[in-house]
A and B are shown apart, each in its own frame.
Chain A
Amino acid sequence: MSTTTESPSSRQATHPGERIAEWTDGRLGLYKLAKSNLRKIFPDHWSFMLGEVCLYSFVILILTGVYLTLFFHPSMNEVVYHGPYAPLQGVRMSDAYASTMHISFEVRGGLLVRQIHHWAALIFIAGMIVHMMRVFFTGGFRKPREINWLFGWTLLFLGMFTGFTGYSLPDDLLSGTGVRFMEGAILSTPLVGTYLSMFLFGGEFPGHDFVSRFYSVHILLLPGLMAGLLTAHLILIFYHKHTQFPGAGKTEKNVVGTPLLPIYTAKAGGFFFLVFGVISAIAAMVTVNPIWTMGPYRPDQVSTGAQPDWYMGFSEGLIRVMPGWEIRLWGHTLVLGVFIPLMIFPLVLLAIAVYPFIESWVTGDKREHHILDRPRNRPVRTGFGVAWLTLYFVLLVGGGNDIWATHFHLSINAITWFVRIGFFVLPVLTYWITKRICLGLQRRDRDKVLHGRETGIIKRLPHGEFIEVHEPLSQQQLHVLTAHAQPAPIELGPAVDENGVARKTNPVEKLQARMSRNFYGEHSQIPKPTAEEYEEVLAGHGHHEEITSGSGSH
Chain B
Amino acid sequence: MSDEFGSHKDVSENLPSAHGAHSGDAVQHDPFANPGLPPHEYRRQDIDEKAAKHSERVVAGLFTLSMLGTIAFIACFVIFPVDKIVYIFPFGHVSALNFSLGLTLAVALLGIGVGAVHWARTLMSDEEIVDERHRADADDELRENIRQQWITGARESGFGRRKLIRTTMYGAMALVPLAGVVLLRDLGPLPEDKLFHTLWAKGKVLINSNTNKPLRPEDVVVGSLTFAQPEGLQESDEDFQQQIAKAALMIVRLKPEDIKDKREAQWGHEGIVAFSKICTHVGCPISLYEQQTHHVLCPCHQSTFDLSDGARVIFGPAGHPLPQLRISVNGDGNLVALGDFAVPVGPAFWERS
A contacts, CB < 8 Å to B:
39-41, 78, 84, 92, 105-109, 111-112, 115-116, 144, 177, 180-181, 183-185, 187-195, 197-207, 209, 239-241, 248-259, 262-263, 266-267, 269-278, 280-281, 283-285, 287, 298-306, 316, 319-326, 328, 331-335, 337-338, 365, 367-368, 370-371, 401-402, 412-413, 416, 449, 474-476, 478-479, 481-483, 485-488, 527-531, 534-535, 538
Contacts and interface: CB of A to CB of B under 8 A. Distances in A.
Contacts of B302: 320, 401-402, 412, 416
Given A108-B77, A266-B124, A487-B18, 16 more contacts: A180-B282, A184-B281, A184-B283, A198-B191, A240-B136, A252-B10, A256-B5, A256-B128, A263-B120, A270-B117, A284-B99, A300-B278, A302-B285, A304-B299, A324-B281, A324-B318
A323 B21 CA distance: 52
A41 B236 contact: no
Interface stretch (B169-177, B256-264, B343-351): B343-351
Contacts of A328: 353
A298 B189 contact: no
B348 A271 contact: no
Contacts of B112: 270, 273
B183 to A, nearest CB: 12
B348 A187 contact: yes
Given A41-B131, A280-B106, A365-B16, A248 B36 contact: yes
A112 B353 contact: no
A182 to B, nearest CB: 8
B39 to A, nearest CB: 10
- Most-contacted residue by chain B among A190, A209, A281, A324 (CB, 10 A): A324
Contacts of B285: 299-302
Interface of B: 2, 5-6, 8, 10-11, 13-22, 26, 29-38, 77, 82-83, 91, 94-95, 97-103, 105-110, 112-117, 119-121, 124-133, 135-136, 184, 187-191, 194-195, 209, 227, 229, 235-236, 241-242, 244-246, 248, 277-278, 281-285, 287-288, 299-303, 313, 315-320, 346-353
Contacts of A333: 348-353
A181 B102 contact: no
Contact of B120 (A253, A267, A306): A267
A201 B245 CA distance: 13
A284 B129 contact: no
B18 A531 contact: no
Contact of A248 (B37, B110, B114, B348): B37
Contact of A488 (B19, B37, B127): B19
A402 to B, nearest CB: 6
Contact of A478 (B31, B132, B301): B31
A204 B190 CA distance: 10
B131 A255 contact: yes
Given A194-B351, A249-B130, A274-B117, A256 B37 contact: yes
23 contacts: A41-B131, A109-B97, A112-B105, A181-B283, A187-B282, A188-B347, A200-B188, A203-B242, A248-B34, A249-B130, A252-B10, A271-B117, A285-B91, A300-B245, A319-B281, A319-B317, A331-B353, A333-B348, A337-B319, A338-B317, A482-B32, A487-B18, A535-B29
A530 B130 contact: no
B300 A302 contact: yes
Contact of A270 (B98, B120, B246, B315): B120
B31 A298 contact: no
Nearest to B237: A78
A479 B32 contact: yes
Contact of B300 (A207, A258, A306, A326): A306
B47 to A, nearest CB: 19
Given A280-B105, A299-B244, A253 B14 contact: yes
A426 B83 CA distance: 50
B124 A478 contact: no
Nearest to B62: A270
A252 B14 contact: yes
Given A203-B188, A255-B130, A305-B299, A273 B102 contact: no
Closest 7 pairs (CB-CB, A-B): A284-B102, A184-B282, A270-B116, A249-B37, A273-B113, A277-B109, A299-B245
A338 B281 contact: yes
B180 to A, nearest CB: 14
A211 to B, nearest CB: 12
Contacts of A367: 14, 16
Contact of A531 (B29, B128, B187, B248): B29
B315 A413 contact: yes
Given A284-B101, A531-B29, A249 B36 contact: yes
A320 B26 CA distance: 61
B5 A251 contact: yes
A187 B300 contact: no
A240 B136 CA distance: 8
